[in-house]
Structure 1
Amino acid sequence: MPATPVRAARQADGAFLADMVVEAANWRPGTHRPRHQVLAGEDYLRYLAGWMRPGDAGVIAESPGGEPVGAAWYRMFPRTEPGFAYVGTGVPELIIGVRPLWRSHGVGRILIQALCEHARAEGYGRISLSVERGNFASTLYRSEGFAVTRAGIGRDTMVKRLP
């Protein structure tokens, strides 16, 4: 595939980020939860509600024709309302989704690298994510420097240091 351009996410990208939450929730081949079902769940909605609130940042990968094909973004959560990958105050939680046809073509890696570089430039020392056990993306996360810091029921929390 040709090079994948990446741009900063904007407030208007909220609907596409919702699409990517649905893709992330439906990572397992052979299973498909409808969009309305995924987005009705508070666990996933927390990563979208009020998109581009202070502290939010993200990147969008586009096809050569300019169509969005993947996104990675982070949010900050308070201890009282943690996300799946909450590890502490001041550690942003990364969320990533890539359209199925674009998976295994380096898009996820490009997105992770761009977002981690942005987080580093913003002064963050770590970034976290949550991955369900068995998700093939965990290999990508490990290769990008994420390590499991907390094993949960069916999912692991991974953290990357941003030197």
Structure 2
Amino acid sequence: MIHIPVNKPPREELLSKPEVKRCLYGWGRTGDRGFIAVDDDQISVGAGWYRLFPANEPGYGFIDEQTPEIEIAVSSSSKGQGIGSQLLRRLIEQAGLDGYQAISLSVDPTNAALHLYERFGFTKVGTSGTSWTMKLDLPK
């Protein structure tokens, strides 16, 4: 989930980093999948997506080249309304339908979304800097 704690770089600085740009650059390649959440007025309030990364250009939540990394972003005004849960549920379902055995993510342990990920069954499998890499094994 894209979440910026007070002591972290501002959103513009974060989004200009090459490792973050990689999450969306060239969208539409094989393995890319995403969903947009809209409100009753059809206004975008969140998005969730997953993508595979090569070992020589890993994302923050990289486990291996066969495990897609997910990202979820929810607008500030829409947080706490279950949108992140709905997007996560849809991503998990779709990843299973696409034949993946697992999905991964990266999260700062101070991010409130950590509890959401744990509730869905994600477990910590490593660290990268101050962030946790988490994995969910999908039903076969």
Tell whether the structures are fold-level matches, with TM greater than 0.5. Answer: yes
Q: Are positions 1:59 and 2:57 aligned together?
A: no
CA distance in 2, matches of 1:132, 1:30: 12
Give, as a single letter, the amino acid of the residue that structure 2 aligns with 1:151.
Answer: T
CA distance in 1, matches of 2:39, 2:78: 9
Q: Give the CA deviation at 1:132.
A: 1.1
1:1-163 matches, within 5 Å, as 24-26=2-4, 28-29=5-6, 33-35=10-12, 37-163=13-139
CA 1:85–1:52: 2 relative to 1, 3 Å: same
Q: Any idea what the Cα deviations from partners look like across 1:116-156, whole Å, max 9, x if unmatched?
A: 10010000010000001211110000001111011332100
CA distance in 1, matches of 2:129, 2:38: 34
Q: Secondary structure at the match of 2:42?
A: coil
TM-score in terms of structure 1 length: 0.80
Q: Any idea what the Cα deviations from partners look like across 1:54-87, whole Å, max 9, x if unmatched?
A: 1100111100110110011001001111100110
CA distance in 1, matches of 2:86, 2:27: 22
CA 1:125–1:135: 2 relative to 1, 3 Å: same
CA distance in 2, matches of 1:51, 1:77: 12
Count of residue pairs the alignment pairs up: 139
Q: Which has the higher helix share?
A: 1
Give, as a single letter, the amino acid of the residue that structure 1 aligns with 2:15.
Answer: L
TM-score in terms of structure 2 length: 0.93
- 5+ residue gaps in structure 1? 1-20
